[in-house]
Amino acid sequence: MKKVYFDSAATTQLRPEVISCMTDVLKNEYGNPSSSHAFGRSAKSVIETARKEVASMLNVSASEIIFTSGGTEADNLVINSSVRDLGVTRIISSRIEHHAVLYCIEQLQKTHNVEVEYVKLDGCGFVDFDHLEQLLKNGTKKTLVTLMHVNNEIGNVLDLKKAAEICKKHHALFHSDTVQSVGHFELDFQEIPVDFAAVAAHKFHGPKGAGFAFIRKNTGLRPLIFGGEQERGLRAGTEAVFAIAGLVEALKISYKNLPTERAYVSGIKEYFKEKVSEVIPGVKFNGGCDDSKKSTYTLLNVCLPMTPEKGMMLLFQLDLKGIACSKGSACQSGSSKGSHVLSQILSEEDMAKPSVRFSFSSFNTKEEVDYVVECLKEFVAA
């Protein structure tokens, strides 16, 4: 059976070079990085070299990079500690954030009586910056704004610099979930005044279970996990040296190849959009994903013209044909609820139709697009 992987927004295929790098570290750098002997010092050197290389790619200080188990932990570390340790009593976010942010905020609202406000979105799901500024002007409480850079379901790209500058102007802290953008977009955190960011390696062809938080120096954040003094005292626990090595190897390759791979993947996305529009009349693209200037080049969220009853079988039928895609965030795949992102921007009529996220990488081909579009055409017409 032919197999096509169009779900890179959920996770990406490991690069061969990353596997080789991690295998080498697993084999040779098995010392505990906190140990003072030569084996430990050697493992520690791997981590600190990785930290410096990551910091260099984002134009920040090495001390501002804290390795975590991924984006969810990084989001939780920043948001929880901002309330507990920095005196934040008000959080501004949007209703289409990843659940790592939304559920964290909801919990803080219950347990710490944090005031939560949501910025307005336009019909395509883009942040209303005038409303954000109005919210910040009208508040007197210490505020954290948390807005994702690239939406993981519809691909909308936030003007990160504009959002950060508005927050800075009004003396609010700014956190961004950059899980879908680091490794795919150039980011300079000296030029973009974010205070905090969250990153996951498995979104740019690195290993699962590895990520980092960017924490601007002198913010005063404290740990969520207590124990040893690893990660500048902000994240206790023996580090996964091989995973950290894999993270930085994947990130280095992603940025080295970025111009070439961005052009290639953009071509795959545009080809998919053209082909599916050509063979399925009435197809729609959700959010801003069909606008190359306002969305990531890595995904399309497609609303297909079919009944809800038929749509319920769509992913199952595609899976039978070897096609991997998603109805939304992989983190919510066990939920019976519809997409919380699409519910904010689609009409009731379109919400009843099946929407599918197809996300791409440099491992994909136009031949795979042809196969997937033909399978969609057959299913819609049946």
Q: Is 161 exposed, middle or buried (0-12, 13-18, 19+ CB in 10 A)?
A: middle
For residue 348, what are the CA distances in angstroms to 111, 310, 344, 354?
A: 34, 17, 10, 12
From 113, 327, 144, 319, select the one nearest 219 (Cα to Cα).
144
In 3D space, the residue among 210, 233, 238 whose CA is nearest the CA of residue 220 turns out to be 233
Residue listed under structure tokens 């395509």: 124
Helix/strand/coil for 186 = coil
- What distance in Å separates the CA atoms of residue 17 and residue 23, rounded to the nearest whole number? 10
Q: Which amino acid is at 52?
A: K
DSSP lists the bridge partners of residue 357 as 301, 326
39/212 Cα distance (integer angstroms): 24
Q: Could you give the CA distance from residue 337 to residue 339 in angstroms, rounded to a whole number?
A: 7
Q: What is the largest CA-CA distance in the chain?
A: 67
Contact of 136 with 91, CB cutoff 8 Å: no
| Whole-number Å distance between alpha carbons of 251 and 214 | 15
Task: Calculate helix-pair angle for 160-169, 129-138, nearest 10 degrees.
Answer: 20
CB 248 within 8 A of CB 65: no
Give the list of residues 6+ apart from residue 296 with CB closer than 8 angstroms, or none.
150, 155, 157, 180, 181, 184, 185, 289
CB-side neighbour CA atoms (13 Å) of 247: 35
Catalytic residue, chosen from 104, 289, 325, 331, is 331
331 noted as active-site residue: yes
Active site residues: 331
